[in-house]
Structure 1
Amino acid sequence: MNSLIDTAVIFIFSAFVLGIGMLFARTGRNLKSFFAGGEAVPWFIGGLSLFMSFFSAGTFVAWGSIAYKHGWVAVTIQWTMCIGAIVTGLFLSPRWRATGNLTAAEFIRERLGERVQKTYIGIFTLVSVFIKGSVLYPVAKLVSVSLGFPLIESTIVLGVFMIAYTAVGGLWAVMVTDILQFVILTAAVFILLPLSLNKVGGFESFTQQVPDDFFNLLHGEYTFGFVMAFVFYHIAYIGGNWTFVQRYTSVDSPKSARKVAFLFAALYFISPMIWMLPPMIYRALNPSLEGLDTENAYLMICKAVLPPGLLGLMLTGMYFSTSASANTTLNVVSAVFTNDIYKGFINPQASDEQLIKVARRSSWGFGLGMIVIALLVPAAGGIVEVVLSISAISGGPLLAPPLWAKVFLSS
């Protein structure tokens, strides 16, 4: 796709998003405004931002591969996120807002003590930097391969872009740019879907060219037990993940926090049915993909039907989805460091001006750490698997204490 038009589209949209983020440089007067939007973020912005925080370029690779190979079950699995969000909205998100805490780490200190807090700050920071550093690599590789740019330079430029508006504008910059990213990605998919159906000869022709069990709710290894395990995982993940808790605490009331979770649930009920159809359609166009090649199904259908310019728009959406996930984590890691380590232990008497400086510098520090991790992925080879293993081992223990304290120790 080495097209000047696609390259121009990516640069123009990237510059536009960066410019919007920079407009919020003066909104961070104190920690509440920088990391919690002054507790005045509209619930629909919080919900859309939460939705975008779930995405990365890997989403299109992993779920696209399942959709290509097994069909509708990819939608079924993603509906577990909808169920998790409904449970969170009913029981957890309003209670998070009612705590009045800036971060989940602050809540852990109040309920479980400083020793537990320090342990979980360390785990959270390490896991977050490694995981988000690793997801920066595939999107940099995607841009590098598609546009013919060197991989190392692509990784650094994309990483610095991600850090810049997060460090300067804080949570407001993250959330508003999340909305722009949502619009770009949604527009790209809504253009891709009818073009894909037209390529295959219409919906009826599509259904006739795929296996008979392609639209089954469950398929193969993705059994009812697997889906139920994902339901319980996403209840804990959406209800207790520190980056998502920030979305519930940044709105104005427990009622708004409930709406944040419910909007996320509604979006995750509708969007998988739309976003998973293109790789499913590609199964009808080219049923010969096997092994790891199935992970390229989404990109291949894009290349097959999108003209120059629109392909760049889709790549921009994929990058921005990764950026939304990574900069959300970056903002929360910086919040935990500034509020719970620097202010909590190093300099309790720090002024607002000092804290904002620490917040911005720590954003750059952790962001550069993510870039380093991304650059090490090719050399380390198995670092992605290692990171996923760390996440699997630490995910439960990391999410359990705040949820346990929230449900059973709340007074």
Structure 2
Amino acid sequence: MNTIDVAIIVGYFPVIALVGLIGMKKAKTTEDYAVAGRNLNFPMFTACLAALTLGGAATIGTAKLGYQFGLSGIWFVTAQGLGMIIISIFLAKKIFKLRVLTIGEMLENRFNVEARIISSLVSATYTTMLTVTQIIAIGSVINVWVGWNVMVSILVAGGIVLFYTVLGGMWSVTMTDIVQFSVMTIGIFFIMLPLSLSKVGGFEGLQASIPAGHFNVTATGGLDIAKSILLYTLGIVVGQDVWQRLFTAKSLKVTRAGMIAAGGYSFLYAATVSIIGMCAFVVVPNLNVPQNAFASIAIEILPAGALGFVLAGVLSALMSTSSGTLLASSTLIVNDVIKRLFLPNMSEKTFLAVTRFTTLAIGVFCIICALWIQDVLVALDIAFAILSGALFFPIILGFFWKKVSARSVFYSIILSTVVIGVGLGIYGTVSIIPIVYGLITSIVVILIFTLVESLRHPASSDVGMKQ
């Protein structure tokens, strides 16, 4: 790479670390560390939410799908944007009123402690695996662009994320996300897209150079589109990482407007990165690893300086999502398991210390896992399949159906998680069958147990509520 590009990339890491250190000074209480004091305004909230969901997997994965299938690659990210809009319209008011730190707390308030513990463990599995996907993408991008060894790439970038997340929690994550969102937006929309289209002769040249099916938004097929909606839309709706960001907004108005704005941004991002992937199909055909489509076309078309800035934008997307999901994992484990079961009376100081240590431990674990799982979308499919299939119905029915019993939720989460795990082992991560089986298991178990409880206690008007 050009010396200018290397300087931009290398210089970006200490800037982000410094911003994270500034955020650390604000993390003085539990709510400061976990939800930024519940005090973010609309621009900050929207930027942080978009930076969380549109991470490395969204960028690298959508470019890969655009390379392989064309505009139909939009569904991966579009489904996530749809999930945010659904939350804004149907759930934002209910979620904002909870004043909790985790989904598990909501389930305990609605049902019992067992529902809180099991849901938190499932959610922590999801957020941890989501962190792994971002680390995989970090290794992929830096390996192709800079030529560093994958392990070195993961250790350097992952280490920076760990550094500012462990020290400052949500305030550090928020401040770095604002910087990273700005860099990501400029890099993707104002550098990569116009230069990619220019290289292939604009939209007319692109249309003449790729298969006709690449402009069909349904080219991947109805099953794959349905899978994206089941995995990513439902996963966003019940994801702890997203809920934890919702808790940072200063008002319900900010929550609703920010969710819609971030969802709309996701639609634009999906289309833009898919088009970049289509341009890569023309500029660098016959790639052995389609996952490298974005990185490969950037090397081919970007001039000195622009390449380093765009790389910084991709790294921004990676680090934004990984820091948010990493913090979500540690919050779930500490708040819903350690504090609830083992240290119920721990002080603010102890809470912060335990959370920082847990964040560090989970981060190290994620880095190790990233060296084993090599495909971004495979890891992401596993994460969302477990989350959506196991938690969607318990959470949604917990909000809207008062007669759902605590026992039904507990067994629903356990059995659907088992079914999904077995299904992934039998049918593979590319199949829609595991998530469908998981959802069916979840709703059937809830209905059966709730019906049995209502028959056993016919005088009770609300057997699902805690007594």
After TM superposition, the score normalised by the length of structure 1 is: 0.89
8 Å CA contact retained: 1:47, 1:260: yes
Give % identity: 22
The within-5 A match list for 1:324-335 is 324-335=320-331
Alignment counterpart, residue 403 of structure 1, candidates 387, 396, 399: 396
Shift of 1:94: 2.0
Larger RCO: 1 or 2 (CA < 8 Å, sep 6+): 1
Alignment counterpart, residue 265 of structure 2, candidates 264, 267, 275: 267
Deviations 1:304-348 (A, max 9, x none): 110232222222222221211111011112222332233322222
Match of 2:162 in 1: 163
8 Å CA contact retained: 2:123, 2:239: no
The within-5 A match list for 1:80-229 is 80-189=79-188, 190-219=190-219, 221-223=220-222, 226-229=224-227
Runs of 5+ consecutive residues of structure 2 not aligned to the other structure: 404-464
Deviations 1:170-228 (A, max 9, x none): 11211221121111112112112222222222332222223333322311x322x5434
Shift of 1:109: 1.4
Measured in 1, the distance between the counterparts of 2:379 and 2:232 equals 21
Q: Does 1:314 align with 2:291?
A: no
8 Å CA contact retained: 2:123, 2:332: no
Shift of 1:37: 1.2
Q: 1:390 to 1:26 in 2, by over 3 A?
A: closer
8 Å CA contact retained: 2:44, 2:174: yes
| Secondary structure at 1:323 match in 2 | helix
The one-letter amino acid of 2:119's match is: Y
Measured in 1, the distance between the counterparts of 2:379 and 2:193 equals 35
Match of 2:6 in 1: 7
Measured in 2, the distance between the counterparts of 1:187 and 1:253 equals 29
Q: 1:267 to 1:131 in 2, by over 3 A?
A: closer
8 Å CA contact retained: 2:127, 2:329: yes
Runs of 5+ consecutive residues of structure 1 not aligned to the other structure: none
Measured in 2, the distance between the counterparts of 1:284 and 1:352 equals 56
Measured in 2, the distance between the counterparts of 1:18 and 1:149 equals 21
Deviations 1:35-55 (A, max 9, x none): 111111113322222212123
Corresponding residue pairs, total: 403
8 Å CA contact retained: 1:78, 1:268: yes
8 Å CA contact retained: 1:65, 1:294: yes
The one-letter amino acid of 2:258's match is: V
8 Å CA contact retained: 1:39, 1:249: yes
Shift of 1:243: 0.7
Alignment counterpart, residue 289 of structure 1, candidates 276, 286, 291: 286
Match of 1:351 in 2: 347
After TM superposition, the score normalised by the length of structure 2 is: 0.79
Match of 1:251 in 2: 249
Over aligned residues, Cα RMSD in angstroms? 2.5
The one-letter amino acid of 2:332's match is: V
